[in-house]
């Protein structure tokens, strides 16, 4: 049996990636598909999701679009019902979808309150909603993996270091939503500590995508390294940690 097969059934493992129609989520989907997983590509615009999944299928990968808007609990629950009906379990969940604050975000003195609320609604509450809906299916996996795609900007320790490379990037709404996501990682890993499910946060690194108007210095291939590694962790891999492509990050 390979690492990409469900331990109990020997069937291909099933992965759900949110926000998979473009950027890092698309590349993570491609890499998981190449690793032999069946990939469900969450998209809030199904036309974009179908186009993205068709691109991967043309490369011979087993990829399918699934409607999933983090701010629509009805769609999140419907996605869980679809996965339950078609596969009966979920082996890998990559909570990748997120929004940036744009011009309305900024340092604490000026960050727009509506922007802060919107960012928490999608990046934190939305990711939590997906986890809550999918957890019963992940518990049915022999080796569940949950990856919360966070950011170095969500690290309290790095934010507190004035010499850190990204110290001048004080985007309160975005950074706080990712710090909250990191708390979700720590608490969920603790809650699931007696199970085989592993929960970790990934920092993709500063990656050229629509999120930052392609100002990032890494390619999406480089940005996908940490999330993919955590999605495919072996049984003796870590849980409750925060990692980039180079290793462990401080909370």
The catalytic site residues sit at 174, 178
**Rounded Cα–Cα distance for residues 139 and 84 (Å):** 12
Q: Which is nearer to ligand NAP, 12 or 25 (CB)?
A: 25
Taking the complex as a whole, the smallest distance from the CB of residue 1 to ligand NAP amounts, in Å, to: 31
Nearest one of 34, 41, 40, 50 to 14, comparing CA atoms? 40
Q: How many residues in the shown chain lie near ligand NAP by CB under 6 A? A: 31
* Of 72 and 139, CB closest to ligand NAP: 72
96 forms part of the interface with ligand NAP (CB under 6 A):
yes
Please report whether residue 212 would count as binding ligand NAP according to CB under 6 A: yes
Which of the stretches 43-51, 139-147, 228-236, 241-249 binds ligand NAP when contact is defined by CB under 6 A? 43-51
Give, as ranges, the residues between 110 and 169 that touch ligand NAP (CB under 6 A).
Answer: 122, 126, 149, 151
Q: At what angle do helices 127-138 and 73-86 cross, to 10 degrees?
A: 20
Q: Does 69 interact with ligand NAP (rule: CB under 6 A)? A: yes
Q: Which residues contact 64 (CB under 8 A, 6 or more apart)?
A: 38, 39, 40, 41, 53
Nearer to ligand NAP, 23 or 144 (CB): 23
149 bridge partner residues? 202
**If we measure between CA atoms, which residue out of 159, 162, 156 comes closest to residue 183?**
156
**Minimal distance in Å, beta carbon 206 to ligand NAP?**
5
**Cβ(49)–Cβ(42) below 8 Å:** yes
Segment contacting ligand NAP by CB under 6 A, of 107-115, 160-168, 200-208, 228-236 = 200-208
Looking at 159, 185, 207, 239, which residue binds ligand NAP (CB under 6 A)?
207
Stretch touching ligand NAP by CB under 6 A, among 7-15, 107-115, 135-143, 201-209: 201-209
Q: Which of 14, 17, 24, 179 binds ligand NAP (CB under 6 A)?
A: 24
Rank residues 98 and 179 by Cβ distance to ligand NAP and give the closer one: 98
- Out of 4, 5, 7, 22, name the contact with ligand NAP by CB under 6 A: 22
Judged by the rule CB under 6 A, the positions of this chain that interact with ligand NAP are: 18-19, 21-25, 44-45, 48, 68-71, 96-99, 122, 126, 149, 151, 203-204, 206-207, 209-212, 216
């Amino acid at each position: 049996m390979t690492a990409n097969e469900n331990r109990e059934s020997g069937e291909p493992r099933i992965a759900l990636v949110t926000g998979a129609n473009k950027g890092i989520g698309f590349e993570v989907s491609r890499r998981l598909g190449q690793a032999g997983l069946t990939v469900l590509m969450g998209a809030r615009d199904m036309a974009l999701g179908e186009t993205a999944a068709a691109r991967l299928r043309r490369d011979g990968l087993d990829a399918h679009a699934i409607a999933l808007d983090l701010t629509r609990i009805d769609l999140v629950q419907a996605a869980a019902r679809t996965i339950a009906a078609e596969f009966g379990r979920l082996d890998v969940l990559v909570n990748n979808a997120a929004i940036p604050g744009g011009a309305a975000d900024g340092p604490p003195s000026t960050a727009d309150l509506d922007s802060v609320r919107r960012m928490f609604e999608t990046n934190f509450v939305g990711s939590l909603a997906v986890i809550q809906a999918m957890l019963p299916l992940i518990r049915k996996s022999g080796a569940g993996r949950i990856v919360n795609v966070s950011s170095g900007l969500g690290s309290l320790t790095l934010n507190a270091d004035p010499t850190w490379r990204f110290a001048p990037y004080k985007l309160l709404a975005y950074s706080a939503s990712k710090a909250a996501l990191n708390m979700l990682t720590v608490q969920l890993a603790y809650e699931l500590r007696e199970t085989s499910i592993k929960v970790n946060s990934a920092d993709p690194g500063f990656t050229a995508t629509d999120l930052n108007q392609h100002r990032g210095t890494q390619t999406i291939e480089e940005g996908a390294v940490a999330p993919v590694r955590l999605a495919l962790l072996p049984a003796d891999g870590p849980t409750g940690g925060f990692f980039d492509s180079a290793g462990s990050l401080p909370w």
